[in-house]
Amino acid sequence: MIELQGLVKRFGDLTAVDGIDLSVARGEFFSVLGPNAAGKTTTIKMMVGLIKPTAGVAKVAGYDIQSDPLKARQRLAYVPDFPFLYEKLTPMEFMQFTGQLFKIDPERARQEGQKLAERFHLSAFLNQSIEGLSHGTRQRVAIASALLHDPEVFVIDEPMVGLDPQHARIVKDILKERSSQGMTVFLSTHQLAVAEEMADRIGIIHQGKLVALGTIQQLREQSGQEGALERSFLHLTTESEGTNADSQGHQDAGLKDVSV
């Protein structure tokens, strides 16, 4: 459902994403991890069509997000780490607005909105202005609204930000439930415990490259570290830094030899 082929993004002299190849299947719960400035959010923005790649292709549900954006986005939902909501609307009005964007019948959008509100514990807030809601409540409104059109692919960046343990549990249960029903979930997070608990497979991005990919057990094998995911993550990211430094050193030495 998600295909990234040779994905590259450069900003001037900075290569933020450096040749990522990745395939995520229908119904897979995939989590991407990485240190700050690793290239995770840039990869996601190319995947959902917010920025254009320097090179490579991103496909969603078989459609190239650049050459066939409407068909791709009809099948896609994206919730960033700080989602934009129209603050003067109520949650129900915002969900109905979302339904209009995806050409859902207004009555069906209202019914689905009420069902989602119940699942996300939002019923008490449906007729309140969004501007008066807490960050965690807004986050749940954004996630519920994104699920309204029953997307085939759901991309979410740091979903647990601002959520208390009870509502974090609700969000995790609903996303896992949707994944088991066939929705592909692509989740970016800094919370290793969330990835460890939820993901079928995990990818680790570091310095713009996909440095590791697999199940938790496969990551343990790649890193040679048993136990918690944190051990594998720290080893793999530290190891890739050493590899990149060695590579850069060889390149520099080669340049010096040429200049001599």
Instruction: Give the Cα separation of 160 and 195 in Å (integer).
Output: 11
Per-residue confidence at 241, pLDDT binned at 50, 70, 90?
low
Asked whether the CA dihedral 229, 210, 171, 122 is positive or negative, the reply is positive
* Amino acid identity, position 120: F
**Are 8 and 69 within one domain?**
yes
Number of domains in the chain: 2
* pLDDT higher than 70, residue 229: yes
Q: pLDDT per residue over 54-74, tens digit each?
A: 999 999 999 999 999 999 999
Q: pLDDT per residue over 39-56, tens digit each?
A: 999 999 999 999 999 999
**Are 203 and 118 within one domain?**
no
For residue 31, what are the β-bridge partners? 187, 202
* pLDDT higher than 70, residue 257: no
- Lowest-confidence segment of 44-48, 198-202, 222-226, 249-253 by average pLDDT: 249-253
In whole angstroms, how far apart are CA 220 and each of 194, 217, 233, 245, 259?
17, 5, 9, 23, 43
| Structural domain range at position 39 | 2-75+151-216
In whole angstroms, how far apart are CA 222 and each of 31, 68, 217, 229, 259?
17, 37, 9, 12, 38
CATH of the domain at 210: 3.40.50.300
Q: pLDDT per residue over 132-177, tens digit each?
A: 999 999 999 999 999 999 999 999 998 888 899 999 999 999 999 9
